[in-house]
Chain A
């Protein structure tokens, strides 16, 4: 039971990270290989806001969202815009290169040291019916769930959300209805990295922060997106939770040192048996 709960909590965080990735892919069919690095930036943003200004990661969420959203929009205008019509390999190199650039630059600026936020507002754990739940983990999962619901509501119910969906389904048809695709792409990047900002802020309360921290998370996000179906946001929620559960239950029932193996085994199974994922349209 303990493992189920902790898997669920982690899964909700994976779900939010993955929906950012899926949103960007669904919109312009570009895979953001720098997604983990953006997560790392979000965690560092939380860290520095705490270290320099004394703001707790919880308090600084809006600032981190803003920083990452601006970062996303800038990524679109200064990089992605130029490779939109390019071959897929070029697009892969562009975001992969961006990943290496961001990671190396973070090492250059902040050294590869492990840091953490000492004395975060959220700490300790709560006990409920014999199950121990870390307070920061619990809050992180809840916040991510609400962020996810907010994102889902925005995309499916608002005017801009519908325009975003329209652009993602058929760019030309959306343009002919007066939807400026370039702005929609920038918005997609802003939203996608905004998701990452929330996840990163929440995790900075209880994770070590270092330039390579994003790698595992981005790999998990890829698995979640593949499992949920590329471009499907709802799929990310289910897939994120499944991955969280597989990770913790696999660790409990088989051997914790191979938990990455279980997660990537899912990925292989998906690729072989249902490459379009649970809700995918590709």
Chain B
């Protein structure tokens, strides 16, 4: 039984098909990697699933419930979390407050929410920074903050947009470890990722997009040798 089932999801902006008839399924407990060159429609796909952009047609079934076209906060409450490619910390609030705002979505008691937030901050290994303002944190730390905040809403499915993007090489392994630990916590993960080595390392399945269309779906090994995928990447200049 799949946790997320996307069928024929489509969205066009003007004449451009940002997403065209995308269908795939995600199994509970797995990590699905989403790859594709710039402009392939990866972030749009996330926007459609999480309700930030209204899809034109198709269906999105999350745990037997159709979430197609619902508002973002409703979808979040059902258990779909998300992090953004362009980080969005609440800059003027502390790390702890940031995570508490997430915790409040399921818990109304201040103390309980606080303890839960602290537990999650410890999980992402930022405990000593808990009273720092978000604007004082490094990019890598902000990535962890976003993860922690999303995690605080108790998501069953977490969509992560380029978790290792924009940070230096040293920081990447720690973040990748964190994603694996997330899966071990029982969270199903869909992650957009440009680094093919990471994809090969962590994902159970890979969805490849190009120009708004699904070009391949399968085990990482199959995807790596898929001619369409190779063409899509070699065909563009800045595919990395």
Contacts and interface: CB of A to CB of B under 8 A. Distances in A.
Interface of A: 159, 162-163, 165-166, 169-170, 172-181, 281
Contact of A172 (B52, B93, B102): B52
A177 to B, nearest CB: 5
Contacts of A281: 91-92
A165 B104 CA distance: 13
A224 B50 CA distance: 40
A173 B89 contact: yes
25 contacts: A159-B104, A159-B110, A165-B93, A166-B90, A166-B93, A169-B90, A169-B91, A170-B89, A172-B88, A173-B84, A173-B89, A174-B90, A175-B71, A175-B72, A175-B76, A176-B50, A176-B72, A176-B82, A176-B84, A177-B102, A177-B149, A177-B152, A178-B73, A179-B101, A180-B71
Interface in B49-102: 50, 52, 71-73, 76-77, 81-82, 84, 88-93, 97, 100-102
B101 A166 contact: yes
Contacts of B81: 176
B188 interface: no
Interface of B: 50, 52, 71-73, 76-77, 81-82, 84, 88-93, 97, 100-102, 104-105, 108, 110, 113, 149-150, 152-153
A174 B101 contact: yes
B113 to A, nearest CB: 7
B91 A178 contact: no
Nearest to A178: B105
Contacts of B113: 159
A162 B73 contact: no
Contact of B76 (A159, A169, A177): A177
Given A159-B104, A163-B104, 13 more contacts: A159-B113, A162-B93, A166-B93, A169-B91, A169-B92, A170-B89, A173-B89, A176-B72, A176-B76, A176-B81, A180-B73, A281-B91, A281-B92
A178 B103 CA distance: 10
A162 B92 contact: no
A181 B52 CA distance: 12
A178 B93 contact: no
B71, B72, B97 — most chain A CB neighbours (10 Å)? B72
Contacts of B76: 175-178
A176 to B, nearest CB: 5
A172 B51 CA distance: 10
B72 A162 contact: no
Contacts of B50: 176
